[in-house]
Amino acid sequence: MSLKAEIHIPINSDADIVTARQQGRELAQQAGFNGSDLTVISTAISEVARNIVEHARSGEIVLSVANGPGRSGLVVVARDHGPGILDISLAMQDGYSTGKGLGLGLPGTRRLMDEFEITSKPGAGTTVTMKKWRR
């Protein structure tokens, strides 16, 4: 079975965060994930979507299924054209927040997912790309 479609979810408000994690859970289920992986994936999506709302106001989440040789998984891209992040290594530290958050979103999401990549340019925006492989 191959699922080629990309799902684009606009993120503009806190209600969109709920939509994004529910759609992520659904697609992950279709891709064959189950149990705690589904919760892990939707929790990670929730954190990056919330970062868009809280730190960049608006952006999008793009969900797709990855089919590598001999393995499949789920790809989540969170993209915005917000203020960007000045010091990424600082932002990746547990407890670091420029807002009133717990500062666990980025470092925690990296722990939840198998692959995690963040690119950001001050004044231009932020893109987080993360993957979970089926075990």
Partner 1 sequence: MRVPILKQGGYLIASIQSALSDYELLQLRDDLSAQVGRFRSRGVIVDVTVLDVMDSFAVRTLRAIAQIGHMRGAETVIVGIQPEVAFAMVQLGLALGDVETALDLEEGLALLDLRTKRGESHVTES
Ligand X SMILES: Nc1ncnc2c1ncn2[C@@H]1O[C@H](COP(=O)(O)OP(=O)(O)O)[C@@H](O)[C@H]1O
According to CB under 5 A, which residues from 30 to 69 bind Mg ion? Answer: 51
By rule CB under 6 A, what string of x and - marks binding of each residue 114-133 to ligand X?
------------x-------
Alpha helices of 1-135 — where are they, by DSSP H? 14-30, 36-51, 88-91, 105-112
**Out of partner 1, Mg ion, ligand X, none, which partner does residue 39 contact, by CB within 5 to 8 A per kind?**
partner 1
Residue labelled with tokens 């290594």? 89
Which of 9/91 has CB closer to Mg ion? 91
What residues does 58 pair with on adjacent strands?
A: none
- Site residues (vs partner 1, CB under 8 A): 14-15, 17-18, 21-22, 25, 35-36, 38-40, 42-43, 46-47, 50, 94, 101-102, 104-105, 107-109, 111-112
Alpha helices of 52-131 — where are they, by DSSP H? 88-91, 105-112
> Cα separation of 92 and 34, whole Å?
28
Per-residue burial over 23-46, b if 16 or more Cβ lie within 10 Å, else e, is: bbbebbeebebeeebbebbbbbbb
**Out of ligand X, partner 1, Mg ion, none, which partner does residue 35 contact, by CB within 5 to 8 A per kind?**
partner 1
103 is a contact residue toward ligand X (CB under 6 A): yes
Q: 3-state class of 17 per DSSP? A: helix
Residues that bind ligand X (CB under 6 A): 51-52, 54-56, 80, 82-85, 91, 96-99, 101-107, 126
